[in-house]
Structure 1
Amino acid sequence: ESQILTHYPKDLETSRRITRQEARTHPDQEALVKLGGIAEELVEAIAMEARKSEYVDQKSGVSARMTITALENLVSAAERRALRHGESLTWVRMSDFWGVIPSITGKVELVYEGEQEGPFIVALNLIGKAVRNRFPSYFPAPESGRKPLGKGREEGADIPADYASVVDWFNSGHQLDLLYDLPETEYRKALDKVTGLSDLVSNYYPQVSPDEHYFLMEFVLHGLAEYSRLNKQILQHATVFGDLLSAMFQSDDSEDWEEEDEDDDF
């Protein structure tokens, strides 16, 4: 009797090179969509999280086919958005990772607990854990003052103690709705509303291009949400960021209303 053993890449960079080599992207896509290094790392990190998830059947494994299709779908999501608005060039956004979800649900076998949780929820959970895992490599983890190993940082640049100005903006009652299909100008305008967010990115990465700058701005919001500093809601057409405490109270209120409705039935 023969048994085939699945061998995973030893590190993220090796996995990333394999995915890049095997992914089938058309030259027209490559000319239209620019893919940053963090986005590629997140694709690989999702697979790594799946390979140790309690919801995923580890006997079936998580092969490179998942990351290959995930990268292809990520590029396709950005391409679709750009073509819809007649843009000749676009940069992959964190918002485009909605396109990766079918790659996860279609390539990952779940155990009973995962099926009970639901494939969509498991996919969101894996993406969230990947963001949390990679975030401290680029920015300080909100729970600590550790400095990241950010490329492009100027020597001697001040390190912000925390993310107070960004979190305070949301705590003061503001909410940010990032529609998945926002044109570039509106996308940037939406992120620029968040006080302190652009300055935070500029402090760590003063030399990056404007496209990558805005990717990092959105990346910070997702990172803060994964570290429970902001509330994040995944809707059908948008990701909504808001105040964590207010969201908790709203959740409690909605439960109270449900209980009252149940009482009214008797």
Structure 2
Amino acid sequence: MTLSGSASPAPSAATVGELRASGHVQRTLREELRSNLLQRLAAGEDPWPGLHGLSDTVLPQFERAIIAGHDIVLLGERGQGKTRLLRTLVGLLDEWTPVIAGSELGEHPYEPITVTALRRAESMGDDLPIEWRHRSERYAEKLATPDTSVADLIGDVDPMKVAEGRSLGDPETIHYGLIPRSHRGIVAINELPDLAERIQVAMLNVMEERDIQIRGYIVRLPLDVLVVASANPEDYTNRGRIITPLKDRFGAEIRTHYPLALEDEIAVIRQEADLVATVPDVLVEILARFTRALRASSAVDQRSGVSARFSIAGAETIAAAALRRGTVHGEPAVARLVDVQTAVDVLGGKVEFETGEEGREAEILTHLLRTAVAETVRSRLRGIDFALLVDAIESGAMVTTGDHVTAREFLEGLPRIGESAIYDEICERLGATDDGERAGAIELALEGLYLARKIGKDTDGSEVIYG
């Protein structure tokens, strides 16, 4: 889901008078989110498109927090979809909402809150001009960094306005920060513990009293803003922490997780990966199993986690390897098992290993990849009788594959097994139709036989010989 989406035309009302005549009813931000969420749920619609594996755990908690009107902090390791979940909140906002034309804070025409807007509303009455703001403009996102300042989030005195002759205590001298500018909208702060503690202190009034303090004087603004944040739990001890008073002001603290089911892991890869070549489903399954094996391995630092970006980047790398190979040999770009190892070669740096595993990284990755391949072969090809194929290879037949062997050359080099339809059965199980997919399917079956110690395998550079 994009933040902008496809917008329908904005309503036509151009003044406060026309807005009143249209029957428009003002709602607070929390009422708006609650009402739209309940409406979606009652209609059986999915309020969270593109999120997989969270429907029975995280999303019910998230929905209850929205219905309760709570500010929310999501805790979880990297790559668990925290930011994506926060961004989907945009879809629960009204598509168009009226604001006072030219308002710095996007105030509702019925309820101006700044001095400037109050003066204009009083002097112009029903002729006060309004404009319509799309919901994509009501979501602001900030990546917390140690150099983030109070001025960035809350605001500061604008020296240029003071130089124009206004007094220092005049509210009109203030340059508002991100949170006040998100009035009647959602502000998301990613990696909240990275904010310096003094900056977190500056947020306390915003979170509870809904006013802001700048340079020693209080600006009373009844802000209507939903504050949501994300954090890695380990950040509490590694890089920083969320101070206790600020944690207390979040009404909901929700723990996220990686997809629990293999099908959800695969769905995430298919949804997010931008593939430049055909990657068969069986290879995506291997990559998903490989990622899940890394998350379960005692050799990997699980406090850091293995992000969904690992498997997504892996699928894109496999596709890129297939496109390169296909271009060199002048054949359609279809990924095969020979391309999967390329993902391991370049993605190892995305995994944090436990102390004491130095020097064993490649060995660990290779072992877990072989485990993923073996599990996939058992799952997909269970029940097929490979006896004739094994006998043919034991009788001296050899099958050569590798980066320099085309799909057609690989298929032509397979041992002939009389009237047996073993190759067709393998391809049917894996949904392989053209030469590239058929070569990949049979290559995977041969690797499965090798991992099951049914046949031998010799690797010489980029060439692999089963025999």
1:223 aligns with 2:448: yes
2:380 paired residue number: 138
What's the CA shift string for 1:62-89, capped at 9, x where partnerless? 11111011001000100000111233x2
2:399 aligned partner, one-letter code: L
Contact preservation (8 Å) 1:78, 1:92? yes
1:122 aligned partner, one-letter code: I
Q: How does 1:103-118 map onto structure 2 within 5 Å? A: 103-112=346-355, 114-116=357-359, 118=360
More strand by percentage: 2
Aligned counterparts of 2:335 and 2:454: Cα–Cα separation in 1: 24
Per the TM alignment, residue 223 of structure 1 is displaced from its structure 2 partner at its CA by 0.9
1:11 aligns with 2:253: no
Q: How does 1:159-170 map onto structure 2 within 5 Å? A: 160=384, 162-170=385-393
Three-state SS of the structure 2 residue aligned to 1:177 is: strand
What's the CA shift string for 1:169-206, capped at 9, x where partnerless? 2222333331212223212223x236479822323528
1:214 paired residue number: 439
Aligned counterparts of 2:403 and 2:419: Cα–Cα separation in 1: 20
Aligned counterparts of 2:273 and 2:267: Cα–Cα separation in 1: 10
| Structure 1 vs Structure 2 CA RMSD | 2.6
- Aligned CA distance change for structure 1 residues 79 and 165 (closer, same or farther; 3 Å): same
1:201 aligns with 2:423: yes
- Aligned CA distance change for structure 1 residues 99 and 6 (closer, same or farther; 3 Å): farther
Contact preservation (8 Å) 1:104, 1:123? no
Q: Which has the higher contact order (CA 8 A, sep 6+)?
A: 1
More helix by percentage: 1
Aligned counterparts of 1:99 and 1:197: Cα–Cα separation in 2: 36
Aligned counterparts of 1:197 and 1:50: Cα–Cα separation in 2: 42
- Aligned CA distance change for structure 1 residues 109 and 231 (closer, same or farther; 3 Å): farther
1:75 paired residue number: 319
Contact preservation (8 Å) 2:390, 2:455? yes
Contact preservation (8 Å) 1:198, 1:217? no
1:176 aligned partner, one-letter code: V
Aligned counterparts of 1:55 and 1:119: Cα–Cα separation in 2: 9
Aligned counterparts of 2:293 and 2:418: Cα–Cα separation in 1: 31
Off by >6 Å, runs of 4+ in structure 1:
none
Aligned counterparts of 1:197 and 1:233: Cα–Cα separation in 2: 28
Contact preservation (8 Å) 1:40, 1:71? yes
Aligned counterparts of 1:197 and 1:11: Cα–Cα separation in 2: 40
- Aligned CA distance change for structure 1 residues 196 and 237 (closer, same or farther; 3 Å): farther
Q: How does 1:25-36 map onto structure 2 within 5 Å? A: 25=275, 29=276, 33-36=277-280
Q: How does 1:244-263 map onto structure 2 within 5 Å? A: none
Aligned counterparts of 2:294 and 2:459: Cα–Cα separation in 1: 20
Query: Which residue of the other structure, out of 95, 115, 119, is the alignment partner of 2:361?
Result: 119
1:95 paired residue number: 338
Aligned counterparts of 1:129 and 1:48: Cα–Cα separation in 2: 11
1:41 aligns with 2:279: no
Per the TM alignment, residue 113 of structure 1 is displaced from its structure 2 partner at its CA by 5.3
Aligned counterparts of 2:444 and 2:294: Cα–Cα separation in 1: 21
Aligned counterparts of 1:20 and 1:38: Cα–Cα separation in 2: 12
1:11 aligned partner, one-letter code: A
Question: Structure 1: any 5+ residue segments left out of the alignment?
Answer: 141-146, 148-159, 243-266
Per the TM alignment, residue 112 of structure 1 is displaced from its structure 2 partner at its CA by 4.3
Three-state SS of the structure 2 residue aligned to 1:240 is: strand
Aligned counterparts of 1:235 and 1:125: Cα–Cα separation in 2: 19
1:76 aligned partner, one-letter code: A
2:145 paired residue number: none
Query: Which residue of the other structure, out of 19, 23, 26, is the alignment partner of 2:273?
Result: 23
1:131 aligned partner, one-letter code: V
Three-state SS of the structure 1 residue aligned to 2:457 is: strand
